[in-house]
Each structure stands twice: as structure tokens, then as C-alpha cells.
Amino acid sequence: MKELILRILIVVAVVSGYIITKDMFYFWFMSLLLFINTIGFWASEKKASLLKDLLKLTESKLIKKEK
């Protein structure tokens, strides 16, 4: 949830910065940074869910071995 609020603030900052400066390069540069940031966030979320699944799988295997 905190990341979502941060993203919204970044988008607002990019748009307001573009409106103030009227510089298209600034707008595209910041959009590119935001895109890279979002991809990184999505990848970390995916990685976290994969690690959770792996942990559950190993736990279930350990429980089966104990029985």
C-alpha cells in the first residue's frame, strides 16, 4: 500500500514538473524512470511470491519426511 501511494506521488510530481517546465525531454525522462521503477517493483513482488511458494513446498516436504 505504501508503494502505491509513493507511485501516485511520483506520477503527480512528474506531471506537475512537466506542466511547470513545459519540457518534453523532462517528461519522457521521468516517465522512463517511473517505468523502470515499476518493472523493478513488479519483479520484486513476483520474486517474493515465488520464494513464498518455494518455502511452502519445502515445508510440506519436510513434514511428509517426518511422518
Q: Could you tell me which of 37, 45, 48 has the C-alpha nearest to residue 8?
A: 37
What is the value of pTM for the model shown?
0.37
Per-residue DSSP letters for 17-45?
HHHHH--HHHHHHHHHHHHHHHHHHHHHH
Q: What are 11-65's pLDDT values in tens digits? A: 777 777 767 767 667 667 777 777 777 777 766 766 767 767 777 777 777 667 6
Q: Which domain holds residue 7?
A: 2-66
Strands (E), the chain: none
How many domains in the chain? 1
